[in-house]
Structure 1
Amino acid sequence: MPDVTAPPPQFRRAVASLSAVRPRPELVVSALEAPPRLAPYSWAFSVEADIGHRGDGFDDLDEPDTSGRLILLHDPAGQDKWEGTFRLVCFVQARLEPEQLGDELFPVVGWSWLTEALEQAGADHVALGGTVTQTSSVRFGDISGPRRDDDVELRASWTPTGTDLAPHAEAFCTLIATAAGLPPVGARSLVQRTV
């Protein structure tokens, strides 16, 4: 008798293709517990970046400059809003540079990080939507400190087309690298940072 609780083959193939991503060394990829009630089947991973990250496994990423998570949802019956049976949901949080604070056009730039990453990776999709938000926070109590107006959050979801989701994982890693301010792969920064 077949196991009715086992994930369907198409979901297992999708997870395998997302898991196959090999990000650049400055990014740290970790498996995450996926939210269980969003779809019959779900899977997730996180990506963290830090400008000073060496990629040798010994960095402290307790408070990374940029982090994000990508969640794969699968409903074999499909959902009308998704326009398919799979849905990718991402959340990215990054620190802004002082000159970016209050820039009214910055949300457009933040959104272009995602759309350009999807296009460059060849990650075909439909039903793309999301938000870009600049946040302000004030610390109190044990973590009190100066007011911080330096975070941007990008939330988005889209329906991948095709069966190979590796380009979507690649695009997500590119999004994290761009949000972190990492130079393109192979390019060297003209500014020497001290860590």
Structure 2
Amino acid sequence: MVETRDSAEDPPEFRAALDALRRATTRSELVLTEIPSPSSNLAPYAVALAADVSPSGHASDSELGTGRFILLHDPEEPDAWGGAFRIVCFAQAPLETDMGTDPFLADVAWSWLVDGLASRCARYSSPSGTATRIISTGYGELARQG
């Protein structure tokens, strides 16, 4: 697992969450890297990770898939959060055009998230999010990319 920030000044709850992130097991083709956290106006404590699906382990965004995982902690428990922690995730992966035009793709993507949380017995509250698809058409030198 990736080494994450560690400060004795962090609240015990946040340090425990960082420790849990360090102990997490991931798939072998997933490369995790700590990246700069969002500004402190989102939360007083945060850690951000980049994830790339990459057999070669290159550092840039992967053509196979890329994502971000941001753990926010605010001991003041903002009302909109429903608790002291909030997780923000972003995932991007290339799809075949026919799959991208499937009207149920957004529902399937959301169910993958909820099913994944359930399969790991993850405790959570107030799930919310969006599923966005972008279909591009390339021309000239970019025609091969779609």
* Class of the TM-score when normalised by the shorter of the 2 chains: 0.7 to 0.9
Q: How does 1:69-148 map to 2 (within 5 A)?
A: 69-137=68-136, 144-146=141-143
In 1, the alpha carbon distance for the partners of 2:98 and 2:135 equals 15
From the two aligned structures, give the one with the greater strand fraction: 1
- Normalization by structure 1: what TM-score? 0.63
Higher RCO, Cα 8 Å, sep 6+: 1
Give the corresponding residue for 2:5: none
Identity of aligned residues (%): 36
Tell me which of 34, 40, 44 is aligned to 1:40: 44
- What is the root-mean-square deviation in Å for CA atoms of aligned residues? 2.3
State the aligned residue count.
137
> Could you tell me how far apart the structure 1 residues matched to 2:32 and 2:127 are?
24
Change (3 A) 1:61 1:33: closer
Q: Flag as ranges the 4+ runs of structure 1 deviating above 6 A.
A: none
Please, which of 10, 31, 36 is the counterpart of residue 34 of structure 2? Answer: 31
The 2-side partners of 1:139 and 1:97 are apart by 14
**Counterparts of 2:19 and 2:57, CA distance in 1:** 28
Pairing 1:3-22 to 2, within 5 Å after superposition = 6-22=9-25
Contact 2:97 2:135 in 1 (8 A): no
TM-score under structure 2 normalisation?
0.83
Deviation at 1:19, TM superposition (A): 1.9
Instruction: Note the residue ranges of structure 1 that are not aligned, 5 or more in a row.
Output: 150-195
Identify unmatched segments of 5+ residues in structure 2: 1-7
